[in-house]
Amino acid sequence: MSGFFGALWWFIVTLGVLVTFHEFGHYWVARRCGVRVLKFSVGFGRPLWSRVAADGTRYQVAMIPLGGYVQFLDEREHEVAPADREQSFNRQPVMKRIAIVAAGPIANLLLCVGLFWAAYMIGWPGAAPILGPTSGIAAESGLLEGDRILKVGGELTPSWNHAVTPLAFAAIDQRAVTLTVEDAEGRKSEKVLRLDRLSADFDQTDPLGEAGIHFGTRSDGRIATVMPDSVAAGKLLPGDLVTSINGKPVTYWTDIPTLVRAAAPGEAVNIQVDRNGARLEFSLVPAQTEIEGKTVRILGIGTRPKVELIKFGPIEAAGAALAETRKQGREMLGFLARLVTGKASSKNLSGAIGIAQVAQAEANQGLSRLIGLMATLSLTLCIMNLLPIPVLDGGHLLYYLIELVSGRPVGERVLIAGQYAGLLVLAGLICLAFYNDLVRIFS
């Protein structure tokens, strides 16, 4: 399943699981607190399926898969018989109401840990965190093409994605960060990446590129792609294994551009390849092109990143899941703080379209990648719902905390005004995220 319908399908599946778990948290704790649940809905709008249980609770799946809700017995919303009032949500002590409202985000937090645990147990494929050609600050900091990033600021980075996020945040903060790297010969060292030297007006949509950090690979010299109309077209083929250039052996893919650049401009290079066991030689004159203001020589061939399987046993996976949840939670809170203070660009926000596209892409990469994405989104749902915005769980918790301190509930007028303000803020964020998604698609 691909294209629009594939993205839509994975969006519905992903959001459906996360919302159901979130609402189940509210539902489960409410039942334990003696509150009657009138309705448990996955989605909004007209019901596509519904069933009334023996206890009177209506369970339904509704037409619009953009959320869900649990409806409690509540005197503020409808008339309640005197005999049922003790089961009404609004009659519960404030601590019970806090527990019921907080249960949704807590359920998402627990789901996040569980999903990360499952992903690490299955095996999480990820591109190796290996640097491509370095320039600017990265080169000045001593980072070299082919270096493998083992740690960023003391945090393990088993894949490129694990390295990218903390590096991007350090760049946005313009903060120096210590990297533990391993070169192509297996030698380990620590390098201080001086991201504090980035100019104040750098492009926040590509912070790593601004720092001279690019993705690389330490795969062998196997050719995956040959560009049409390049000097290699019609001679080198996908699947060829480059074994040497000008008599010098090629061990890793990164050796190829290094050896090509070592040749004099306009000079042909002798390339030896293994094609299905047969040894072939070609003489090619690299083309010259401009990249980032520099003249470079290229053959027009490409490779695929080396993908490694990050896999743990049950105990190790539990530790890794907790560490990943803690790391991502810290990064999300940091991003929100930067967004509020203006240090991070609002262009980085993504909405339903972006989530759908990423969900489809991750599903195509394998089950564990999709599970990992769902874990991240579950944590996002937890944190976003705890923001002190009326209409969100965090807004309700704020009201209950005020009630706990003052000894009386927040006034009706304040509640209504807060609802409208919260809806405005939420609608603004949704529209901004939707706009960003459209800009990414059409650009």
- Which positions ≥6 away from 240 have C-beta within 8 Å? 222, 223, 273, 274, 275, 280
Q: Which two structure tokens, joined as six digits, stand for 309?
A: 């399987």
Alpha-carbon radius of gyration of the chain: 27
Strand partners, 193: 177
Q: Which two structure tokens, joined as six digits, stand for 310?
A: 């990050």
* CA 40 centroid distance within chain: 29
Tell me the CA distances in angstroms from 130 to 160, 205, 206, 328, 361, one per residue in order. Answer: 7, 21, 18, 21, 22
Q: Which two structure tokens, joined as six digits, stand for 228?
A: 């049409």
Active-site residues: which are they? 23
- Taking the CA atoms of residue 25, residue 29, residue 31 and residue 36 in that order, the dihedral angle to the nearest 10 degrees is -80
* Helix or strand holding residue 148 (H, E): strand 148-152
Nearest partner of 119 among 325, 274, 259, judged by Cα: 325
Nearest partner of 225 among 301, 282, 307, 299, judged by Cα: 301
Nearest partner of 204 among 349, 331, 358, 347, judged by Cα: 347
CA 261/CA 335 separation, integer angstroms: 40
**Residues 105, 382: contact at Cβ < 8 Å?**
yes
Q: Where are the beta strands (DSSP E) in 261-408?
A: 269-275, 278-284, 287-291, 294-298, 301-302, 307-310
**Residues 386, 394: contact at Cβ < 8 Å?**
yes
- Which positions ≥6 away from 375 have C-beta within 8 Å? 111, 112, 113, 115, 116, 119, 324, 325
